[in-house]
């Protein structure tokens, strides 16, 4: 095989890998939208897949709340920032308080799951 043919093969292979990565990105986004029953808009609409090079797919969620859903939170206090009291409704009843002790949330790992779905799809696609 000559150098030119080898270079053509490498270019074709890189193009094929890029196409399969893009398809894997679509699988990741669809997985995030279809398989999560928590997080509403954060999970379903904000998960993105971006081909950043012919061999690199980035899966992200740029919602400010995504990190807390992905990693979970420890128990923590919620206090007002600009007012003297927190005000909210519970079962239709107005509640005011100076502090709420949040029990924390478990990690949902939805971006990780989307990336794993993309990786599985890519490997399967490349080995067929």
Which two three-digit tokens encode residue 38? 């928590």
Each residue's pLDDT expressed in tens, for the chain with a length of 128 residues: 556 677 788 888 889 999 999 999 999 988 887 766 666 666 666 788 999 998 899 999 888 888 888 899 999 999 999 999 999 999 999 999 999 999 999 998 888 999 999 999 999 998 87
The verdict on pTM exceeding 0.85 is no
């Amino acid at each position: 095989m000559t150098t030119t043919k080898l270079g053509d093969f490498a270019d074709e292979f890189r193009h094929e890998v890029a196409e399969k990565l893009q398809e894997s990105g679509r699988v990741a986004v669809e997985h995030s939208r279809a398989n999560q029953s928590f997080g509403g808009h954060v999970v379903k609409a904000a998960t993105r897949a971006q081909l950043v090079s012919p061999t690199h797919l980035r899966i992200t969620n740029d919602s400010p709340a995504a990190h807390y859903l992905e990693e979970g939170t420890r128990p923590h206090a919620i206090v007002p920032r600009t007012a003297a009291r927190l005000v909210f409704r519970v079962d239709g009843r107005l509640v005011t308080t100076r502090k709420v002790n949040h029990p924390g949330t478990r990690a949902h790992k939805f971006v990780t799951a989307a990336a794993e779905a993309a990786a599985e799809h890519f490997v399967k696609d490349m080995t067929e």
